[in-house]
Amino acid sequence: MTVSGAERGAMRRALELAATPGVPLGPNPRVGCVLLADDGTTVAEGHHRGAGTAHAEADALARAGERARGTTAVVTLEPCNHTGRTGPCARALVEAGVRRVVFAQADTNPVAVGGADTLRAAGIEVEQGLLADEARALNRTWTFAVEHGRPFVTWKLATTLDGRSAAADGTSRWVSGRAARLDTHRLRARADTMLVGTATVAVDDPALTVRDEHDVPLPHQPLRAVMGLRDLAPDRRVFDDRAETVLLRTRDPHEALAQLRARDRQHVFLEGGPTLAAAFLRAGLVDEVVAYVAPAMLGAGLPAVGDLGISTIADAFRPTVTDVTVLGADGPGEQPNVRFTMTPHRDSEER
Ligand SMILES: NC(=O)c1ccc[n+]([C@@H]2O[C@H](COP(=O)([O-])OP(=O)(O)OC[C@H]3O[C@@H](n4cnc5c(N)ncnc54)[C@H](OP(=O)(O)O)[C@@H]3O)[C@@H](O)[C@H]2O)c1
């Protein structure tokens, strides 16, 4: 790859633009674009602001107008090749007279693929792969969903020291402390789907909304998904109008994720209970585990996870720890909790 220092700097700037705060979570990736003149100065910048708005390249081209001619477009994602709600960016770059395109991440989305080929066929110089890892990290779950054809699954659990997620009488409020609960809401807000089993809705009646530190629901809420075959009482809080709710009438985790993918979902936050979590683990469909461990013991009650089909210690499920954070006591009577973030081992990246 041959890129100039100015192009490298412009790609860093394009990554910053892509990460501009306030862009709503949606089915589209975050993308930034910088148009550079031959002398390395910036002609225009652009970024994508969510589904239905201009793509980053179109945004930058519109700002540049005639000055786009002869520039180098530095883009965090391969320009798309398809007509969705907006026209194909590869064509727009050709028509604007851009001379060269440097992009970071290749777009493997089947409906958008082929932008680089279109550009090359039109005689435009194309370089790809500059800061590609950073670009992939920026759109971690979008990239995962495109490459695996299903949403990324984060399984969150709250457990006592002795691995219980609820007491013998079924009560589980609150296993973890206030700081851990606030942290959970922060993580929920990063996902586009909350997923629980029917029993959790029947027993706990959770709202499954994302709320701020004053317990006020945020304006933008993830989809609430409830999985299982039984009918649920209509008075359950998941059926209120605070957020959209979908019933996934299946016990097959693959089928549930396929239904969610069909709704353009990229990141599922699986909040249990233990039966559903075990089903996803057994199916190899957990991509990240976030466990809040509280200094409490119950000695009896529901396990944090159901039967995994493991009968001997050598076969224990041992995810790789990527982060350990102590969440300090937040208020009188509160105790610190520990959050483990973990990645399951995979037999194959293809799952
Ligand atoms: N501490 C925590 O982090 C936490 C989080 C969530 C829940 N909980 C606690 O967990 C308890 C509920 O536990 P749970 O394990 O019974 O709830 P669950 O996993 O939410 O729901 C289990 C139900 O989901 C349905 N289901 C969907 N897919 C399934 C599959 N592949 N295999 C089996 N069943 C499937 C079945 O009901 P159908 O007959 O409808 O198909 C099943 O009975 C509650 O007391 C709650 O307090 C704790």
CA–CA gap between residue 22 and residue 89 (Å, rounded): 23
One-letter amino acid at 241 equals D
* Ligand 1 and 206: CB distance under 6 A: no
| Nearest CA-CA partner of 199 in 174, 157, 231, 245 | 231
Please state the pTM of the whole predicted model.
0.90
Average pLDDT along the chain: 93
H-only helix segments in the chain? 5-18, 56-64, 89-95, 115-121, 132-138, 140-148, 178-188, 198-204, 253-262, 274-282
Q: What is the pLDDT of residues 11-42, one digit of tens each?
A: 999 999 999 988 877 788 999 999 999 999 99
Q: What is the pLDDT of residues 295-313, one digit of tens each?
A: 999 999 999 999 999 999 9
Residues 6+ apart with CB under 8 A from 252: none
Q: What's the confidence (pLDDT) of residue 87?
A: 72
| The ligand 1 atom nearest the CA atom of 170 | 45
CA of 251 to the centre of ligand 1 (A): 11
Name the pLDDT band for 261 (thresholds 50, 70, 90): very high
CA of 347 to the centre of ligand 1 (A): 27
CA–CA gap between residue 43 and residue 106 (Å, rounded): 24
Give the active site residue among 7, 57, 78, 271. 57
| 57 is annotated as an active-site residue | yes
Relative to beta strand 288-294, strand 302-303 is unpaired
With a cut of 70, say whether residue 347 has pLDDT above it: no
